Amino acid sequence: MPSIILAAAEEGGSEEKNNFLVPNATFLFELVSFAIILFVLWKWILPPINNAMTERQNKIKAQFEEAEKLKAEAQAAEAENQSQLAEARAEASRIREEAREQGAQIVAQHREQAVVEAERITSAAQAQIEVERAQALAQLKNEVGTIATTLAGRIVGESFDDDERSKRSVDEFIAGLESAPKSEA
C-alpha cells in the first residue's frame, strides 16, 4: 500500500508544475505571520527587555563604582590604621625609655640612700663599739685593780682594804703603763 500512495502522489504532482519564482499562498501567509510576530516583538517585548538590560547594566556599573569607593575608603582606613599603629609604637617606645630612665633614677636614689644608711649604721656601730670599749676598759681597770690589790696584799702580807688608797695606786700604775712607749711586737 505505501507504494500505491507514493505512485498517486507522483502522478498528481506531475500535472501541475510549480514555479519556484512565484510564491504560493503558504509562503505569503508565513511571511505575514513572521512580520506580525517581529512587529509585536519589536513594539512590546524588546523595549522592556532592553530597559531591564540597561537598568541591570546601570546597577552593575553603580555596584562597581560603589566597590571602588569602598576599596578606596578601606585603603584610606588601612593607611590611617598603619599611621596610628606607628604612632602607638613610637609612643610605647618613648614610654619604655622614660620608664627605664625613671628606673635608673630610682635605683640610683636607693643606692645613694643605702650608702648613706650604711655609713650611718657603720658610724653608729663604731660609736657603740667605742662606748662598749670604754665600758669594758673601765670594768677591766676595776677588776685588774681589785685582783692586783688582792695579789699585792697577799704578797706583802698586808691588807689593802682602803679602797681610796688602792684605787689611787692602781690608777697611777695604769697611767704609767699608758704613758710608757709601746713596743712593737
- What are the pLDDT digits (tens) for 29-56? 999 999 999 999 999 999 999 999 999 9
Percent of the chain surpassing pLDDT 90:
54
Asked if the structure places residue 154 within a domain, the reply is yes
Asked if the structure places residue 1 within a domain, the reply is no
Q: Give the pLDDT mean for 120-143.
A: 87
Asked if the structure places residue 88 within a domain, the reply is yes
Cell numbers placing 120: 650611718
Asked if the structure places residue 132 within a domain, the reply is yes
Of 1-10, 26-35, 110-119, 162-171, minimum mean pLDDT range = 1-10
pTM for this entry: 0.38
CA distances from 170 to 132, 141, 160 (A): 21, 8, 11
66 pLDDT higher than 70: yes
Predicted pLDDT at 22: 78
Backbone φ and ψ of 162, nearest 5°: -70, 110
Asked if the structure places residue 156 within a domain, the reply is yes
Asked if the structure places residue 7 within a domain, the reply is no
Asked if the structure places residue 167 within a domain, the reply is yes
Report the C-alpha gap between 23 and 32 in whole angstroms.
Answer: 13
DSSP 8-class letter at 18: P
Q: Give the pLDDT mean for 133-138.
A: 85
184 pLDDT higher than 60: no
Cell numbers placing 36: 506580525
Predicted pLDDT at 157: 66
Q: Give the pLDDT mean for 106-130.
A: 92
pLDDT class for 148, splitting at 50, 70, 90?
A: confident
Mean pLDDT, the chain, whole residue set: 83
Q: For residue 170, give the nearest of 133, 138, 135 by alpha carbon.
A: 138
1-35: string of b/e by CB count within 10 Å (b at 16+)? eeeeeeeeeeeeeeeeeeeeeeeeeeeeeeeeeee
163: containing domain: 34-176
How many separate domains does the chain show?
A: 1
Asked if the structure places residue 92 within a domain, the reply is yes
